[in-house]
Structure 1
Amino acid sequence: MTETSSYAVYLFPQALEALGEPIKPYVQEGPGGTHIVCAEIDVSGPLFGLTLTGRDAQGRSSELEIMIPHAMVKLVMSIHSEHGFGFKQA
């Protein structure tokens, strides 16, 4: 079994609308739909936690944690390092 490197978290359209402008920089469009790619998720608490990794303006590694109600999450997919995320067209 491969090590999971990240997760694609899909939110309901109403959730994206309710979260508004603050969530937009972290949302990506892809063949599977609108999603957020995160390094870790935490589903154990009262809120659904998403940990995103990136770089700040100076190029240093940084982490961002977003916490949203569980009811906003439509689907979570794990992305394994042995293959990319997406769908091939036939």
Structure 2
Amino acid sequence: MTTSGYIVYLFPPAIEALGAPALPLMQKGEGEGAEHFFVCKEVDTAGALVELTIEGKDANGQVTDIELMIPMNMVRMIVSAHGDGAGFGFRVRTPEEMATAPANLSL
């Protein structure tokens, strides 16, 4: 099964500004100091507003897509979460890639 999506972190004042209506759409990490974040199926950053597509449930318990638009300046970080190895982010590099990497690159 392929799982993919994005994790979107906001600046703390943005979470406070969005308030109670946004909290049911967010998840919270575990442990002390854990932060709230959105888990999104899609993220569109093509304008002044960031469009987040979040999987939710309607009043009847049916799965539905929720589209949330927030100002770009609220977003602190977007992380790609692709279980199939696609997308951007950290990955294991092959020995061939390591051999051709610049000497000053230590990733």
Q: Residues 4 and 84 of structure 2 are in contact (CA less than 8 Å); yes or no, is this contact kept in structure 1?
A: no
Deviation at 1:34, TM superposition (A): 1.8
CA gap 1:4/1:46 in 2 versus in 1, 3 angstroms? farther
Q: Which 4+ stretches in 1 moved above 3 angstroms? A: none
Show the counterpart of 1:43. Answer: 45
CA distance in 1, matches of 2:13, 2:56: 26
Structure 2 residue runs of 5 or longer lacking an equivalent are: 86-107
**Structure with larger RCO (C-alpha < 8 A, sep 6+):** 1
Structure 1 residue runs of 5 or longer lacking an equivalent are: 84-90
Residues 48-57 or 6-15, more deviating: 48-57
CA distance in 2, matches of 1:4, 1:27: 18
Residues 47-56 or 10-19, more deviating: 47-56
CA distance in 1, matches of 2:84, 2:16: 34
Q: Which residues of 2 match residues 5-84 of structure 1 at below 5 A?
A: 5-31=4-30, 33-82=35-84
Deviation at 1:52, TM superposition (A): 0.6
CA-atom RMSD in angstroms: 2.1
Is the partner of 2:38 in helix, strand or coil?
strand
- Given residue 62 of structure 1, which amino acid in structure 2 is its aligned partner? T
CA distance in 2, matches of 1:8, 1:69: 16
Deviations 1:34-90 (A, max 9, x none): 21101000000220110011333434231100000000000000111259xxxxxxx
Show the counterpart of 1:87. Answer: none
- Given residue 12 of structure 2, which amino acid in structure 1 is its aligned partner? P
TM-score of the superposition, structure 1-length normalised? 0.78
CA distance in 2, matches of 1:77, 1:48: 14
